[in-house]
């Protein structure tokens, strides 16, 4: 082989290698990366692992449709391990190291609060799928779970009107969501004429397991001759021993009904539901809802996960709604660039699973129906009440004086907490 031929072949091989490298780099660039930030271990894994799984399903389904604007989606999954400061580290890792275009994640409000500064600093997008306490509206966050006026307030109205409840136990896990929600509920109940001595408030740590004394106290509180109910903002795996102790002490739904805001089909899957029949939960979706959209979703989910025993729940629907809204916004914007997608999201409308649609509002919350379901012995819920139409998520509670004057509007006002009296913007959150 002469020198010229050898050089030519060498250059040709180098060119092919370079082309392959550049093609690989181009392919990598063309992948739209979706961050999944849910606890896969620790006290919240009982609730959050399923949300990781449903995100993988939604991404897989979208790729079967050809991706978005011709680009395939790639899931980047991390485990913040129910460690609230670690959520912030993992969010930064997803955005800076993994270069994700959007993040779907968090469950507890303390985990969401942990990541807010990261999304603001790095100007990325978070879709948050779980009911929360409100009192927040951040430009980089889209809240697809229920605000208090889409869950807590309607549930209390139901108990008052349909069950005749006069005494209230507000039982929660000791962190921001239960404390703020119960602050709103206490103000709401007192405004409705409930005496302060008819409201009992109790908080327990994450993972709390010894419920004997607390359930005994609830029974005593409920023996005063007035119809009593428990409004539960207990989160995570503490629900398992709580409900078991209710059964052990014979607390039936007829005597003292419990309405839960953080117990759905997934949590009940690990319980003997026999002693819990008749207790309640308030959500915006139940697996038992009979619509074609829900039937298709359940079939797709059980096929993807490989089990007809796996249930669906409300936060899964919230991810379904949020993901489809994000897809439509990216398609409309023609890019995954954060500012363009954030601007495109308000006004986006997609189907929900209960037979209607959800719209992303200017305050970065969505419209949702509110349902109250009764626990059945098969771990499903029988819907016993629902709102006549969709309820718009309210970022700021009308029942707290400091919040009643605030509004959120990221379209016209470009503000998360605009004071309607002083006509000034206080920033992104309270």
Query: pLDDT tens digits, residue range 42-97?
Result: 999 989 999 999 999 999 999 999 999 999 999 999 999 999 999 999 999 999 99
Residue 411 has pLDDT above 50, yes or no: yes
Average pLDDT, the chain: 92
User: What distance in Å separates the CA atoms of residue 285 and residue 242, rounded to the nearest whole number?
Assistant: 23
* Residue range 388-415: mean pLDDT, rounded: 97
- Rounded to a whole number of angstroms, the distance between the first and last alpha carbons of the chain is 76
Pick from 82-96, 170-184, 221-235, 268-282: least confident: 268-282
Question: Structural domains in the chain?
Answer: 32-145+291-368 (3.40.50.2300), 150-289+372-386 (3.40.50.2300)
**272 pLDDT tier (thresholds 50, 70, 90):** confident
User: What distance in Å separates the CA atoms of residue 195 and residue 106, rounded to the nearest whole number?
Assistant: 36
Residue 37 has pLDDT above 70, yes or no: yes
Which tokens sit at 294? 């829900």
Residue 253 has pLDDT above 90, yes or no: yes
Residue 109 has pLDDT above 70, yes or no: yes
Q: Is the pTM of this model over 0.85?
A: yes
User: What distance in Å separates the CA atoms of residue 63 and residue 77, rounded to the nearest whole number?
Assistant: 17
**Nearest CA to 230 among 207, 213, 253?**
253
**30 pLDDT tier (thresholds 50, 70, 90):** confident
User: Coil, strand or helix: which one is 240?
Assistant: helix
User: What distance in Å separates the CA atoms of residue 397 and residue 400, rounded to the nearest whole number?
Assistant: 6
Higher pLDDT, 362 or 430: 362
pLDDT at 187 (0 to 100): 97
Q: Are 315 and 130 in contact, with CB atoms under 8 Å apart?
A: yes
Q: What is the DSSP letter of 276?
A: G
The shares of helix, strand and coil residues in the chain, as percent rounded to the nearest 5, are 45, 20, 35
Higher pLDDT, 8 or 357: 357
* Residue range 297-324: mean pLDDT, rounded: 97
pLDDT at 25 (0 to 100): 37
Q: Are 55 and 100 in contact, with CB atoms under 8 Å apart?
A: no
User: What distance in Å separates the CA atoms of residue 115 and residue 356, rounded to the nearest whole number?
Assistant: 32
Residue 231 has pLDDT above 80, yes or no: yes
Q: Are 345 and 329 in contact, with CB atoms under 8 Å apart?
A: yes
| Strands 280-283, 228-233: pairing kind | unpaired
Q: Are 177 and 233 in contact, with CB atoms under 8 Å apart?
A: yes
Residue 98 has pLDDT above 80, yes or no: yes
Q: What is the DSSP letter of 275?
A: G
Residue 173 has pLDDT above 90, yes or no: yes
66 sits in which H/E element = none
Higher pLDDT, 1 or 414: 414
* Residue range 18-42: mean pLDDT, rounded: 69
User: What distance in Å separates the CA atoms of residue 364 and residue 427, rounded to the nearest whole number?
Assistant: 15
User: What distance in Å separates the CA atoms of residue 84 and residue 401, rounded to the nearest whole number?
Assistant: 30
**29 pLDDT tier (thresholds 50, 70, 90):** low
User: Coil, strand or helix: which one is 105?
Assistant: strand
User: What distance in Å separates the CA atoms of residue 278 and residue 280, rounded to the nearest whole number?
Assistant: 6
Q: Say how many C-beta atoms besides its own lie within 10 A of residue 347's C-beta.
A: 12
């Amino acid at each position: 082989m002469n020198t010229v031929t050898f050089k030519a072949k060498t250059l040709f091989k180098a060119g092919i290698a370079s082309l392959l490298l550049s093609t690989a780099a181009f392919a990598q660039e063309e992948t739209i990366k979706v961050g999944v930030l849910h606890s896969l271990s620790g006290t919240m894994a009982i609730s959050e692992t399923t949300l990781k799984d449903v995100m993988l399903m939604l991404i897989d389904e979208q790729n079967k449709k050809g991706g978005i604007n011709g680009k395939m989606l790639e899931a980047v999954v991390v485990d913040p391990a129910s460690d609230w400061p670690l959520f912030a580290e993992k969010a930064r890792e997803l955005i800076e190291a993994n270069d994700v275009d959007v993040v779907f994640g968090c469950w507890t409000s303390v985990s969401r609060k942990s990541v807010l500064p990261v999304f603001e600093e790095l100007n990325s997008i978070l879709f948050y799928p779980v009911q929360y306490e409100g009192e927040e509206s951040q430009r980089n966050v889209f809240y697809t779970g229920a605000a208090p006026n889409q869950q807590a307030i309607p549930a209390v109205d139901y108990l008052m009107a349909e069950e005749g409840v006069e005494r209230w136990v507000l039982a929660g896990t000791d962190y921001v969501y239960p404390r703020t929600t119960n602050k709103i509920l206490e103000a709401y109940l007192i405004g409705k004429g409930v005496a302060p001595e008819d409201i009992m408030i109790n908080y327990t740590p994450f993972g709390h397991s010894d419920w004997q004394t607390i359930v005994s106290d609830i029974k005593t509180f409920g023996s005063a001759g007035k119809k009593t109910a428990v409004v539960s903002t207990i989160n995570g795996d503490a629900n398992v021993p709580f409900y078991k102790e209710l059964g052990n002490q014979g607390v039936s739904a007829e005597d003292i009904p419990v309405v839960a805001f953080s117990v759905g089909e997934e949590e009940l899957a690990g319980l003997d539901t026999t002693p819990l029949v008749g207790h309640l939960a308030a959500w915006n979706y139940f697996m038992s809802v009979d619509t074609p959209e829900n039937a298709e979703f359940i079939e797709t989910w059980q096929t993807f996960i490989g089990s007809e025993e796996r249930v669906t729940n409300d936060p899964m629907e919230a991810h379904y709604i949020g993901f489809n809204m994000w897809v439509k916004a990216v398609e409309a914007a023609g890019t995954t660039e954060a500012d363009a997608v954030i601007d495109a999201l308000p006004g986006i409308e997609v189907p929900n699973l209960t037979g209607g649609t959800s719209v992303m509002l200017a305050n970065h919350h969505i419209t949702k129906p509110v349902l109250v379901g009764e626990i059945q012995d098969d771990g499903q819920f029988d819907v016993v009440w629902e709102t006549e139409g969709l309820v718009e998520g309210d970022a700021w509670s009308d029942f707290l004086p400091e919040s009643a004057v605030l509004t959120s509007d990221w379209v016209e006002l470009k503000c998360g907490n605009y004071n309607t009296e002083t006509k000034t913007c206080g920033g992104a959150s309270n």
